[in-house]
Structure 1
Amino acid sequence: MIMEIKDIICGYGNRKVVNGISITVESGEVLCLLGPNGVGKTTLFKSLLGFLKVKGGNVMIDGEDISKWPRKKIAQAVGYVPQAHNSSFEFKVLDVVVMGRAAYIGAMSSPSKKDVEIAEESLRALGIYFLKDRIYTEISGGERQMVLLARALTQQPKILIMDEPTSNLDYGNQVRLLQQVNELAKKGLAIIMTTHSPDHAFLCSSKVALLERNNKFKVGSVNDIVTERNLREAYGVKVSIVKTIGSNGEEISTCVPLLN
């Protein structure tokens, strides 16, 4: 499956937030979306998900313009993991994950045995099946983020959009979530994720898109886009890209900020 973003323009009212961006993401690829606050990353996501009507350009999936799709069809093709989710209702974790089947269940119907089995398999795949009977509001922030990922996988999408999925996680949970991103890409999902850490692009991206102020935009391979010059221009800080050799002999790159 291929998602093509063609010269997309999106924003609010008469204000254009994103103007003329084009990106292609295919099955098995991870696109890491970088950029400072306020450049339109979340606005772009809302447009890709159909929550916000695009002002120009097209969002295509396998050659079809999704603006002509019903919302249920979009939900069956594209899964979404938000930055955070606060629920005031004391649902069990399994119930939250089963909600990912909403796109397949009629308005007056209840989840079937198959729907529950798919939700349980998502929990197993992420190694959090032990949480299934816990109350969602009583588990940790890192566990909630993994539950939201399980809910998105329960939609059985071909494309997964993740809005800063590591923003509220400790270091260990960040690493574990990025490992899951890599595993899901190996299984054929096309993944688009935003992050405020350029290091995450080195860890799991097939390609990187860098949004800057004044609608500047770059897209390409990780090594072409995540450079000292590009990061300095985008974020206004000095950064050094340091390369080292990992335990398996592979080259590893990391970003080191240079404080004044």
Structure 2
Amino acid sequence: MILEIKDAACGYGSRTVLSGLSLDIHSGEILCILGPNGVGKTTFFKTILGFLKIKGGEISIDGENIQNWSRRKLAKIIAYVPQAHTPPFPFLVKDVVTMGRTVHLGMFASPSKNDIAIAERAMELLEISYLKDRIYTEISGGERQMVLIARALTQEPDFLIMDEPTSNLDFGNQIRVLEQINRLSKTGLGIIMTSHFPDHAFLCSTKVALLQRNNKFIVGSSEEVVTEENLQSAYGVNVKIATTIDKDGSTIKSCVPLLS
């Protein structure tokens, strides 16, 4: 399956934030979107999800324009993982995860045994089954993020959109979430994620889109896009791309800021 964005223009009302953006994401690929605040990353997500009407161009799945799809139809194909949040009610983790089945249920239907089994499999896949009887508001930020991912997986989507999945997480939990993202892509999910950390593009991405101010953007592999010159242009800071050799001999790249 392929999600294609062709010459897309996105924005609010009469204001266009992005225009002329073209890229695609296939099943099993990870697209990491980088860029400073205010360049349109969230606007782009909202347009794909149908919260904002596309202002130009086309978004299609397997060649079919999704502009006129219903929210329910779109939610069966694309799931969304927001930044970790605290709900107003103290639901159990297993109930939060099972809420992902809502898109497959009738208006007044309750989750079936099959729906509950799907939710349990999602928790098992993410290795968070031990949390299922805990209260969502009482678990850690990293655990909440895993719960939100599990909830999205219970939709049984083909594509997963993740808005800064490591936001507000400590270093260890950031790495754990990134490891799970890599694992999920290997199951065939197409994943689009945003990040404020260019290193994440080296750690888990097939493609990178670097959005800059004044409607500039670069799309390509992490080696092509995440360069010292491009990061300086996008963020206005000096950066050195360092290379480390892993214990198995593989090369790992990272971004080191150069403080003045």
Normalising by structure 2, we get a TM-score of 0.99
Task: Quote the residue 2:40 is aligned against.
Answer: 40
CA distance in 1, matches of 2:80, 2:99: 12
Task: Quote the residue 1:136 is aligned against.
Answer: 136
Deviation at 1:85, TM superposition (A): 2.0
CA distance in 2, matches of 1:84, 1:226: 27
CA distance in 2, matches of 1:170, 1:106: 39
Q: Residue 68 in 1 paired to residue 37 in 2?
A: no
CA distance in 1, matches of 2:133, 2:153: 19
CA distance in 1, matches of 2:84, 2:6: 29
Task: Quote the residue 2:217 is aligned against.
Answer: 217
5 Å-filtered alignment, 1:97-246, equals 97-246=97-246
Deviation at 1:69, TM superposition (A): 1.1
CA distance in 1, matches of 2:143, 2:176: 11
Greater helix share, structure number: 1
CA distance in 1, matches of 2:59, 2:35: 21
Q: Which amino acid aligns with 2:106?
A: G
CA distance in 1, matches of 2:142, 2:28: 25
Deviation at 1:237, TM superposition (A): 0.1
SS at match of 1:214: coil
Q: Deviations over 1:134-168 (max 9, x none)?
A: 01111111110000000001111000100000011
SS at match of 1:121: helix
Q: Residue 4 in 1 paired to residue 31 in 2?
A: no
CA distance in 1, matches of 2:137, 2:107: 26
Q: Which amino acid aligns with 1:67?
A: Q
CA distance in 2, matches of 1:36, 1:58: 25
Q: Which amino acid aligns with 2:138?
A: E
Q: Which amino acid aligns with 2:129?
A: Y
Task: Quote the residue 2:250 is aligned against.
Answer: 250
4+ residue segments displaced more than 3 Å: none
Normalising by structure 1, we get a TM-score of 0.99
Q: Which amino acid aligns with 2:84?
A: A
Between stretches 62-71 and 149-158, larger displacement belongs to 62-71
5+ unaligned residues in a row in structure 2: which ranges? none
Deviation at 1:70, TM superposition (A): 1.1
SS at match of 2:79: strand
Q: Which amino acid aligns with 1:97?
A: V
SS at match of 2:37: coil
CA distance in 2, matches of 1:32, 1:248: 25
5+ unaligned residues in a row in structure 1: which ranges? none
5 Å-filtered alignment, 1:72-83, equals 72-83=72-83
Task: Quote the residue 1:86 is aligned against.
Answer: 86
SS at match of 2:72: helix
Deviation at 1:244, TM superposition (A): 1.2
SS at match of 2:151: helix
Deviation at 1:84, TM superposition (A): 2.2
Q: Which amino acid aligns with 2:211?
A: L
CA distance in 1, matches of 2:183, 2:42: 24
CA distance in 2, matches of 1:168, 1:159: 24
Q: Which amino acid aligns with 2:232?
A: R
Q: Which amino acid aligns with 1:5?
A: I
SS at match of 2:256: strand
CA RMSD of aligned residues (A): 0.6
SS at match of 2:231: helix
Q: Deviations over 1:151-187 (max 9, x none)?
A: 0011110001000000111111110110011111111
SS at match of 1:68: coil
Deviation at 1:13, TM superposition (A): 1.1
Identity of aligned residues (%): 64
Deviation at 1:208, TM superposition (A): 0.4
